[in-house]
Amino acid sequence: MPSLMIDREVLIAAPVDVVWRTITEPDQISQWFADKVELVVEPGAHGYLGFGDQGGPVVVETVDPPTRFSFRWNHPRGEEPVTGNSMLVEFTLTPEDAERTRLRVTETGHELRAWPDEEKQRYADEHQEGWGDFLDRLDTLIKKR
Amino acid sequence: MTTPPDDELWSAIGDPSRRQVLDLLVSHGEVSASWLAGRVPFSRQAVSKHLVVLERSGLISRRKEGREVLYLVEADRLDQATRAMTEVAAQWDRRLATIKRLAEAAHAENKRTTPS
């Protein structure tokens, strides 16, 4: 896997289909994400996410129940999210067993997706440490001043 | 909602190639574009383009030394960027924690109403 910008995960004590509904049903999304959710969960569907008096368009990319769901947004700008101006949020659901699901979320910048696979792999190999190590080194750099 | 990271920073560090350039500047201090080009898997022209974007976002600056142009990171701006990144990661952690709570509650409710 390439080293990504945001890459977090959580283990949930619920079956994969329950987790899938929680992350894809608009009335559920409004409980963990935006205040206002207008979204049809279909690839290519255009929707809207509202955060208080802010908000912006969202475009669904991948819907592969019950394991993959992704969308593109460019919060806080109100432009139409397309490759090149937006962030891609990808959820991956992995059943650990009948009662437990690992949920991973990644949020990546615009050009990573466009890279050929071998280039991604090379980047991943060279950047095993990822963002965390970068932060550590940066921290050291700042402390040195 | 907390303040989102500002757009220029976000897109400047959102690109993995640019982060690779930034990485090298963070770990090696002041270096030239040709030095950088020798250490990345993309062209000298690409390096120059990334340097322009990074400079525009305020993450790096340049200095002339003799006939050479050297680039260096602007630690304060970079610090601001990494704080923004950390905040975005923390936001996702909070969202994941809420998803976990919702899904586990729904599962418990399903089990209660449809005992197997």
pLDDT in tens, A93-145: 999 999 999 999 988 764 444 445 555 455 444 444 444 455 555 555 545 54
DSSP class of A19? H
* Inter-chain residue contact B98 with A5, CB threshold 8 Å: no
Residue A123 forms beta bridges with which residues? none
pLDDT in tens, A21-54: 999 999 999 999 988 999 999 999 999 988 888 8
Q: How confident is the model at residue A85 (pLDDT cuts 50, 70, 90)?
A: low
Among candidate residues A23, A1, A27, the one with its CA nearest the CA of residue A10: A23
For B22, the closest chain A residue by CA position comes to A134
> Which residues in chain B show pLDDT less than 50?
1-5
CA angle B60, B62, B63 (to 5 degrees): 145
Q: Which of A3, A13, A131 sits opposite B85 (nearest CB)?
A: A131
* Inter-chain residue contact B14 with A137, CB threshold 8 Å: no
pTM as predicted:
0.68
Size of the A and B interface in Cβ pairs below 8 Å = 119
Return the pLDDT at A71: 93
Among candidate residues A42, A43, A44, A46, the one with its CA nearest the CA of residue A56: A46
Return the pLDDT at A83: 64
ipTM score of complex: 0.72
User: Which residues 16-55 in chain B show a CB within 8 A of chain A?
Assistant: 16-17, 19-20, 23, 26-27, 41
**A56: chain B residues, CB-CB within 8 Å:** none
CA angle A135, A140, A144 (to 5 degrees): 145
Greater model confidence, A132 or A67: A67
Residue B64 forms beta bridges with which residues? B69
For A129, the closest chain B residue by CA position comes to B23
